[in-house]
């Protein structure tokens, strides 16, 4: 789905927060390796990246038929990725069985595994954590991770949390009972939930609970009040709603640390969240393709985990974009995942690289992400109330009910929603609409919205004029938008 991890699907915020308690053997060694590499400075980080990149390229060429073919004609010794052909999600997913480097992994088997939701958090073939997402391009993707990759993601986040202000929040959270709440799109194989379940299963003593973004807000607030989490993780749109509830006195939680991921979080909004919750707010940029790409700093930038990630801002022709300029997209190389190599992968996010050394003093490359920004829809509900509907909840409902990925929900005012689907087949459009409409009606009724008018629009989804990208939930100009 959406940039749920600032570029990603209901991947959303993962829960590496408590990974330390999961007791992975590789964890400490990764943690200290990252720590010492970064302490040694930019050159050490670049050297680690180059070495890992060369090893990944050798591995991909040797074990992935897709990459072997893609790099045919390239020099035998691939040292750097920057000159290699770009890989798109569509091309990779079309040849899934050739993409993966373990030939025991077959698309048919993965699909069967994903179709059974009781497997959430379990391992495919006993080895691989699997999650799915359609990301900012609206195309479905399936991602497998092994223990080595997961241990790197966990360690990357742990290093972030070791920064003095966040470490204080972590410690305070433990002092306040250590309960952790994840509010996300639950109930399917999404990155956030899969990570959460993984951590919970491996550390059964954890006081961790997941809450669904589909729940009516007043119910969610009551449940959070009862649970009293010391750590709170969710999407920025949800956190903003919760901050309003807290300011109004209805939400009485006092977290020691708030985790934001899965969607674009502007710096002023992050500061507002910090003020309202009275604790540090960690902004994470990750996707289903790489759980931890970059993390927010006090100066409002995101610092790329450049020892484990290669991130290239590029224009529409995949040429490098100058620092300070907004890129058309960004190419991701994830140096941690050997099973399903992500190399010069078109992620679809527009980013700006900081042309100056960051004010916060961190020498890792700094970026800002111009994530796709879906609108929150406000509708009238019973009793004269108004309810806010999260884009993530709406898109998840439509995707799940109608099995579509390229669509658009347009709020045209009052109780009116228009649905647009990208299919030229009128009959198929009707079928998809019928499924989506029924599911949306059920959701709106649970939120207290009565008499919603949902119509099918024969037009295909309109892409954003400025970015050329698809926004799935749009409030038409002139209507309430927040």
Residue (260 or 467) nearer to Zn ion, CB: 260
Q: Which two tokens stand for residue 66?
A: 């897709």
Q: Per-residue string for binding with Zn ion, 25-54, x by CB under 5 A? A: ------------------------------
Residue (361 or 478) nearer to Zn ion, CB: 361
CA distance 369 to 352: 7
Residue (297 or 379) nearer to Zn ion, CB: 297
Q: Per-residue string for binding with Zn ion, 270-299, x by CB under 5 A? A: ---------------------------x-x
Number of residues that bind Zn ion (CB under 5 A): 6
For the CB of residue 404, give the shortest distance to Zn ion in the complex, in Å: 39
The reply to whether 369 sits near Zn ion by the rule CB under 5 A is no
Half-sphere exposure of 427 (CA within 13 A, CB side): 0
> Stretches 18-26, 202-210, 357-365, 466-474: which one binds Zn ion (CB under 5 A)?
357-365
For the CB of residue 296, give the shortest distance to Zn ion in the complex, in Å: 8
For the CB of residue 302, give the shortest distance to Zn ion in the complex, in Å: 8
For the CB of residue 49, give the shortest distance to Zn ion in the complex, in Å: 19
Q: Which two tokens stand for residue 164?
A: 């003095």
The reply to whether 306 sits near Zn ion by the rule CB under 5 A is no
For the CB of residue 287, give the shortest distance to Zn ion in the complex, in Å: 21
Report whether 333 contacts 342 (CB < 8 A).
yes
Residue (304 or 452) nearer to Zn ion, CB: 304
For the CB of residue 358, give the shortest distance to Zn ion in the complex, in Å: 3
> Stretches 121-129, 321-329, 355-363, 380-388: which one binds Zn ion (CB under 5 A)?
355-363
Among 128, 301, 407, 421, binds Zn ion (CB under 5 A): 301
> Stretches 287-295, 300-308, 424-432, 473-481: which one binds Zn ion (CB under 5 A)?
300-308
Residue (168 or 299) nearer to Zn ion, CB: 299
The reply to whether 358 sits near Zn ion by the rule CB under 5 A is yes
Place of tokens 């609108």: 375
Q: Which of residues 378-417 bind Zn ion (CB under 5 A)?
A: none
Q: Which of residues 152-171 bind Zn ion (CB under 5 A)?
A: none
Among 360, 380, 381, 454, binds Zn ion (CB under 5 A): 360
Residue whose C-alpha is closest to residue 310's, from 299, 294, 296:
294
For the CB of residue 169, give the shortest distance to Zn ion in the complex, in Å: 18
Place of tokens 């300070």: 324
Q: Per-residue string for binding with Zn ion, 70-109, x by CB under 5 A? A: ----------------------------------------
- The footprint of Zn ion (CB under 5 A) covers 297, 299, 301, 358, 360, 362
């Amino acid at each position: 789905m959406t940039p749920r991890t600032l570029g990603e699907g209901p991947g959303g915020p993962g829960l590496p927060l408590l990974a330390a308690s999961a007791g992975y053997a590789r964890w400490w060694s990764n943690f200290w390796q990252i720590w010492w590499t970064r302490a040694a400075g930019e050159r050490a980080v670049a050297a680690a990246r180059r070495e890992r990149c060369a090893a990944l390229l050798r591995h991909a060429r040797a074990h992935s038929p897709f990459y072997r073919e893609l790099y045919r004609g390239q020099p035998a010794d691939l040292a750097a990725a920057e000159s290699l052909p770009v890989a798109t999600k569509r091309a990779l997913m079309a040849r899934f069985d050739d993409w993966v480097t373990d030939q025991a992994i077959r698309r048919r088997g993965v699909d069967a595994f994903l179709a059974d939701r009781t497997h959430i958090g379990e391992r495919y073939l006993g080895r691989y954590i699997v999650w799915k997402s359609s990301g900012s391009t609206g195309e479905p993707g399936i991602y497998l991770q092994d223990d080595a990759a997961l241990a790197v993601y966990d360690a990357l986040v742990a290093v972030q949390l070791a920064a003095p202000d966040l470490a204080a929040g972590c410690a305070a959270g433990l002092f306040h009972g250590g309960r952790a709440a994840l509010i996300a799109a639950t109930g399917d194989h999404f990155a956030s939930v899969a990570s959460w379940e993984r951590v919970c299963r491996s550390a059964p003593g954890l006081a961790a609970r997941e809450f669904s973004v589909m729940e009516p807000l007043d119910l969610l607030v009551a449940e959070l009040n009862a649970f009293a989490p010391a750590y709170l993780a969710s999407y920025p749109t949800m956190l903003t709603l919760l901050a309003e509830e807290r300011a109004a006195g209805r939400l009485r939680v006092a977290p020691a640390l708030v985790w934001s991921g899965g969607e674009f979080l502007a710096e002023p909004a992050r500061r507002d969240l910090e003020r309202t919750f009275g604790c540090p707010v960690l902004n994470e940029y990750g996707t289903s393709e790489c759980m931890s790409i970059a993390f927010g700093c006090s100066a409002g930038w995101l610092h790329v985990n450049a020892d484990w990630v290669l991130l290239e801002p590029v224009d529409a022709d995949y040429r490098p974009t100058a620092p300070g300029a907004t890129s058309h997209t960004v190419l991701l190389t994830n140096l941690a995942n050997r099973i399903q190599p992500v190399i010069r992968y078109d992620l679809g996010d527009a980013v700006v690289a900081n042309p100056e050394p960051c004010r916060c003093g961190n020498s890792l490359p700094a970026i800002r992400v111009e994530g796709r920004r879906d609108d929150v829809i406000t509708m009238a509900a019973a009793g004269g109330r108004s309810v806010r509907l999260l884009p993530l909840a709406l898109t998840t409902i439509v995707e799940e009910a109608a099995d579509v990925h390229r669509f658009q929900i347009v709020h045209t005012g009052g109780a009116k929603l228009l649905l647009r689907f990208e299919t030229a087949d009128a009959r198929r459009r009707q079928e998809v609409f019928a499924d989506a409409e029924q599911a949306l009606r059920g959701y709106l009724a649970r939120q207290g919205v009565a008499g919603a008018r949902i119509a099918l629009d024969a037009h295909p989804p309109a892409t954003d004029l400025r970015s050329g990208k698809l926004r799935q939930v749009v409030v038409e100009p002139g209507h309430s938008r927040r």
